[in-house]
Chains A and B, each alone.
Chain A
Amino acid sequence: MGLTGLEIYKQLPKKNCGECGTPTCLAFAMALAAGKGALETCPYVTDEARENLASASAPPIKAIKFGNESVLGDETVLFRHDKTFYHPTTLLIKVSDKLTDSEIEAKVQEIEGLEFDRVGLHYSIDGIAVVNESSDQDRFSQVVEKVASATSRSLMVLSENPDALKAAVPGIASRKPLIGPATFENYEAVVNFAKEQKVPVILKADGLDALNELVESAQKLGYKEFVLDPGSRSTSQTLANLTHLRRLAIKKKYRPFGYPVIAFTGKNEPLDEIAEASVYVAKYASAIVLKTSIKAHILPLMALRQNLYTDPQKPIQVEPTLHVIGDVNENSPVYVTTNFSLTYYSVEGEVESSKIPSYILPIDTDGTSVLTAYAAGKFEPEKIADALAASGVAEKVNHRNLIIPGAVAVISGKLQEKSSWKVVVGPRESSGIISFVRTMQG
């Protein structure tokens, strides 16, 4: 995140000595802002200014890494269309130490099963947050150990009692758990302990003013591996807090808030909880701690997360090779579409539902949809004919019928000529495939 030339100029010695190679301090500042000079060439800049300028060139939100490759923060925009969101919201499931051993086993087993495959993508839950709700610190240690031994996912260890953290964390410190929360009451003990164990720590205060004060106090302990919790548990207030924190960090480069933010759901009814969590996935939470761990609840939330964190510049693509749906034979129909994953899987889903084993050939259109590719000259008859020949499907079927999307009916003549396959114009929408193949067969 660069500063403007004027902001840099304010920090310079204003001697206009020219020793940096530029005639004036202002010109030097402009050069720095444009990334054309180095601060080191100025011999008179103060240490304080040097530090200010260095921290200003740091990313607006620090990346905090913990557990099994979980990365929080390191975001640069408020709207995904401005660039992209980089690090998908880390989702963790809460496990309370109030549960019995067998309940914990069952819960962890359920969490371990939160792995999903859909439309060629794999989603898996990121981790488990063990929460000290019993006031028993021995029990807490036991549960942390038990959970740690049952999963290799990222761990979060939460207790407001520093002694409970001190007992539970060292045994798993090598797994780099995210610990906390450090509050006004315990922050010296908790932050110092986190520093000693080299693990990141959650700073929790009620509201942004208090959080600001807590961050500044905690930074004085010489540690900066923080994750922020503004304390709110209602949907509306959490949305506001997440927005304020992200805006201050990015638009104002406000350093005390230049850390990732964690959200805890307030709702207890699982379906309401997922609806609540969907707001935080959309709006800037770097991590969310959930209570429900039921597959049917987690899958939709993970789909939303994957969707919103997709890079708008780089559409997700499938391999442009011949795909086989079901138990194909020499009479199976052959469809052609593009390798834009959304397009491909819309077709695949419908072909699958038709219950007729088929071949689908996605053409490499750099991940663009049928009409976009056609308009850009990436879905031309020559190209399709070449891909068809290269796919080897001709040896697999004994017919020569190729089904093309209805929206590009106009290419059928030319394609027929180039490929010497009989081109059949399919429905405009993939949702019409089922009735289309029925009429074809009937």
Chain B
Amino acid sequence: MPITLVKEKYQSKVGQVIIGATPDQGGTRTKVIVAGGDSALPFLHFEGKVENRPVIAMEVTDIIPPWNDVIKEQFGDVLDNPIAWAKKCVEEYNADMIYLKLIGANPDGENRSPEDCARIVKEVLGAVGVPLVVVGCEDSDKDNEVMAAVAEAAAGENLLIGLAEQDNYKSITAAAMVHKHNVIARSPLDINICKQLNILISEMGLPLNRIVIDPMIGGLGYGIEYAYSIMERARLGALANDKMLSMPMICTVGYEANRAKEANALAEEFPGWGELQDRSILWETLTATALLQVGASILLMRNPAAVRLVQQNIADLMEANA
């Protein structure tokens, strides 16, 4: 006798956010990315439509990053040139988007001017055709200036810009509204703050389909289970028609996974952990694959070898199942 499978019927689906704009939409991108839109739990094709596959945005910084050699070696000599670096990510590693982090703006570092930052964004836009995610240097006052300049310079490109946080969301939201970009709303592993922030942002008039949730994940071994459960609850909330949790989710996989000692320590230091090469790649890979299982739509990643593995994992999971 055939089994009657349990197929859930959800009231709603995850909201869709469009990132990038082609020339006929007022931008210069060769393609746009649509995140979200699913009407099922992740990759359960049998009970609803997995509208858009999750995408990977590869991280590019405007100064040479302090990353470990396992990652740096794969990029060769492009790390001091965001333009060549971004091109390499797209052409060689098939990044769906570029995640441009303007660390050079940090007042304690290079202290690059907002105009300079905007120029770099324009240059990267000129070099690649994929949509861009752009964030600042995590100094909130400076970021407000930098992102305002970036938003203006890239008007029409429909960027995804960040970061809006509970105590600092107004100026970036305003910049996104005026120049028509999307915003990353970041909350510290707290579903209530997450919801509250989305409400505050939308009360300023930014439509819900222009917000992406950054739940501030923990990396593998360092609190990933908290992010895992919060994201799972957010996804269930979206499917149960909680509009303020229905945005697609973005995860800072590269940053968090590569903070772990396990992703950086050589085998000589920790012989019990095996060789660094594969361990480092898998630390980032499993941070991503685990979060894909709870609804990550945009993965921000670093290591090209990990990107390749996650691309394969996504392709495998996008196959129909019954």
Report which A residues bind B (CB closer than 8 A): 79-81, 115-119, 208-209, 212-213, 234-237, 239-240, 243-244, 247-248, 251-252, 254, 270-272, 274-276, 278-279, 282-283, 294-301, 303-304, 307-308, 310, 312, 342, 345-346, 349, 353, 431
Contact = CB atoms under 8 A, between A and B. Distances in A.
Interface of B: 1-3, 5-6, 43-46, 218, 220-225, 228-229, 232-233, 236, 259, 261-262, 267, 272-279, 281-283, 285-286, 289-290, 293-294, 305, 309-310, 312-313, 316-322
Nearest to B283: A300
Contacts of B233: 79, 81
Contacts of B285: 271, 274-275, 278, 300
A80 B229 contact: yes
B229 A312 contact: yes
Q: Classify the interface of chain A: helix, strand, loop or mixed.
A: helix
A377 B296 CA distance: 35
Contacts of B319: 234-237
A267 to B, nearest CB: 9
A300 B6 contact: no
7 contacts: A235-B313, A237-B322, A275-B309, A282-B290, A299-B279, A308-B290, A353-B261
A115 B271 CA distance: 11
A349 B286 CA distance: 21
Nearest to A256: B3
Contacts, number: 164
Contact of A118 (B228, B273, B286, B305): B273
B321 A237 contact: yes
B289 A278 contact: yes
B18 to A, nearest CB: 26
B286 A279 contact: no
B113 to A, nearest CB: 25
B221 A236 contact: no
Nearest to A342: B223
Contacts of B282: 271, 274-275, 296-297, 300-301
Contacts of A349: 261
B11 to A, nearest CB: 18
A117 B271 CA distance: 11
A240 B279 contact: no
A97 to B, nearest CB: 26
A303 B221 contact: yes
Contact of B281 (A117, A271, A299): A271
Contacts of B313: 235, 272, 275-276, 279
Given A235-B317, A307-B225, 7 more contacts: A80-B225, A236-B318, A247-B5, A275-B313, A276-B313, A296-B279, A303-B286
Given A236-B316, A279-B293, A294-B274, A431 B225 contact: no
B262 A300 contact: yes
A87 B32 CA distance: 43
Contacts of B44: 239-240, 243
A287 B316 CA distance: 21
B273 A279 contact: no
B262 A244 contact: no
B275 A308 contact: no
A295 B272 contact: yes
